[in-house]
Amino acid sequence: MLSKSIQDALNNQIKIEAESSQIYLAMACWAEVKGLEGVANFMYAQSDEEREHMLKLVKFVNERGGHAKISQLKAPNVTFKSFKEMFEKLFEHEVFVSQSINELVHISLQEKDYATHNFLQWYVAEQIEEEAVARTILDKINMIGDDKGGLYLFDRDIENLTVTTAATNTPE
């Protein structure tokens, strides 16, 4: 059974994950309108992934005897000065999500809710990967600078971007 404070914290994370999905959907729309098909497809996939993260939390709360709350969301930013600014916002948002997950882990340990703590470890590893992907993308964008040919190649290649992190690179 979830304590009220853990249920409230998990419900807040459900809202954050739902807003993340909306943020990436708005980014996908912006990129698509700008002709950045690869970036748009990458963002559509990110949006879907964030919704899956939200649903995983919803199911966990409900399965543990709580009640997942679906709440009103903040409208995401829908315009950006550049695709670089858009990816900077993506990185900032992933850092925010990581901080939120870390706070959830902290609460679960304070309350000795080891089932929730164990469940949240997947999110901790996922956030390491999400931040690494965002950092890698920003590094590539900084390499490109204002080169239109580089932007073209980046847009084409981003759909196939893979980043191996310490969290995902487990020895066999």
Binding-site positions for Fe cation read: 17, 50, 53, 94, 127
Distance between CA 155 and CA 153 in Å, rounded? 5
Cβ atoms of 69 and 9 closer than 8 Å: no
Residue 128 CB partners (closer than 8 Å, separation 6+): 98, 165, 166, 167
Per the annotation, binding residues are 17, 50, 53, 94, 127
The residue among 95, 60, 90 whose CA lies nearest residue 77 is 90
Q: State the alpha helices, DSSP H only, in 64-113.
A: 83-110
Two tokens at 5? 């404070």
Task: Label residue 124 exposed, middle or buried (CB < 10 Å: 0-12, 13-18, 19+).
Answer: middle
Count Cβ atoms below 10 Å from residue 37 Cβ, excluding itself: 14
Give the pair of three-digit tokens for residue 35: 């002709």
Q: Using the 8-state DSSP alphabet, how is residue 160 labeled? A: G
